[in-house]
Each structure stands twice: as structure tokens, then as C-alpha cells.
Amino acid sequence: MSSLSPLIGPATSTSRADELVQRITEAIHLGLLNDGEQLPVEVELARQFNVAPMTARDALAELRQRGLVETRRGRRGGSFVRRPAGPPVEFLRARLIELTTSELRDLADEHVAIAGQAARLAAERSSAVNVRRLFALTEQLGAAGTLGDRIRADCRFHIEVAIASQSERLTRREVALQAEISGLLWLPVGRPIDIARMVADHHAMAAAVVSEDGDKARRLAEEHVDWELRRLISLRLLLTDPKEDR
């Protein structure tokens, strides 16, 4: 069992069980935790996220109730991830409606800074393994047959760019931003997302990384985030004012 905190992000000393539940739930839906993957035991989970063991116990109980975690008894027992077939669409719709246009722009401003710098550094520091992963995840996005698979492939591509930057801080911020944005971006509302456009964007970014063109990689990443912002604002308008879909 690996440490979860580098992927999901460190919790604060004031974290509650519902915050931990939200972080692990997002990690499951985004594919950061694999179906069948074993979670740390309660004491270790509490240590990783700087919470009380009782908080970790309550969080695992809630995850079991939601059907996202299965606990098995015996020598090879423990808590194991049970990833659902699709994302929680209604929850994501409600969350997007709650966000203001100003808050979406703030998210995009941060994402431009993180994604752009991560892409530039990835072009300078990426390994052959990172590059192979970027192209593989691009192919996965194009071949994905379900909404959940598309969300996970999209999310993991951007996180892999951050991993390729060799910056732990940038990677943590990219993971946190993907948890906030990725599911919203793929909401089945209004016009379907242009998957060919998404695949082309990913391929272009991967190609810029492999050619070690940091300026181009950064520009492409920033343009992609700007496109995401425009889509999120458009989706929010559709959800709050259906007449906009004319």
C-alpha cells in the first residue's frame, strides 16, 4: 500500500471526516485510486492525513456506506476501493451551479500558472517513461467508451505532465485542481465535449514535451486551460439559465 497523501494532498489539523471522504471519493472517481486497490489501515490513514484515528474510522465507514469501499475480514483483509461505473453527475451539477463566474476564473488563473509551468519544466526534465505515459494516456482518452473513463484519462494526462516536471509541489497542486475541475468539465450538459479537440490538445502538448520545447509546451497548456474555463462558464450558464442553449 502506497501513501495516499502525495496524490490526494495533505490534510490540515482541523480536517473532519467529511473532508477526508470527499478527497478519497474524488481520488476514486478521477482514477488516482484504482478499483480493488487496498487503502491503508485506519491508524496509517490517520497518520498520513494528520487526523485522529476516530476521524479516519468515521471516513471509512461513510465510504463503505456509499459503496466506494469494501472491507474484508481475515488474514488478507482490509479496506479496498470499489470504483463505480460512472461519476456522480448530479453532485457535480450541483457543485458547478454553486460556483460563481468569478470563482471559476480564479480557478482558471491558478490552473494557468500551475499547468503552464509544469508543462515548461516537463519539456526540460521529463524521462522516457513520462513521455510514453503522456502518449498512452492521450490514446486512452481517444479510445475511452464511458464518461468515467474519459474523465480519468483526461485527469491523469494533466497529472502526468506535472509528474514529468519533477516538482512535487506542482504535482500536488495539479492533483488538487483536477479534483476541482475535471469532473465538472465533462458534465453531460448541452453540446457534447469535442473529444477530438481534447485528444489533439493532449497530443500537441505531449509532442512539445518530447521535443523539449518548453515555451511551446507552456503556451499550449495555457491555451488549453483557457478553453476549459470558457467551457465551464458556458456549462454553468446552461445549468442556471436553460434558455442559453438556444
Least confident segment among 223-227, 234-238, 239-243: 239-243
Please say whether the dihedral angle defined by the alpha carbons of residues 39, 43, 47 and 49, taken in this order, is positive or negative: positive
Check whether 99 has a pLDDT greater than 60: yes
Are 29 and 67 a contacting pair, CB within 8 Å?
Answer: no
Contact by Cβ (8 Å): 220, 204:
yes
- Please give the backbone phi and psi of residue 172, each rounded to the nearest 5 degrees, phi first: -65, -40
What number of other Cβ atoms are within 10 A of residue 200's Cβ?
13
The predicted model scores a pTM of: 0.82
171-184 residue pLDDT tens: 989 988 998 888 89
Q: How confident is the model over 137-158, as a mean pLDDT?
A: 94
pLDDT at site 202:
98
- Is residue 60 pLDDT above 70, yes or no? yes
Spell out the domains of the chain, with CATH numbers in brackets: 5-81 (1.10.10.10), 89-245 (1.20.120.530)
14-29 in b/e form (b: 16+ CB < 10 A) is: ebebebbbebbbbbbb
Facing residues of 70 across strands?
Answer: 80
pLDDT tens track for 179-229: 888 889 999 998 889 999 999 999 999 999 999 999 999 999 999 999 999
Q: Sorting pLDDT into bands at 50, 70 and 90, what band is 6?
A: low
pLDDT digits (tens, 9 = 90+) for 100-109: 999 999 999 9
**Per-residue pLDDT tens over the stretch 10-51:** 555 445 888 888 888 888 888 888 899 999 989 998 888 888
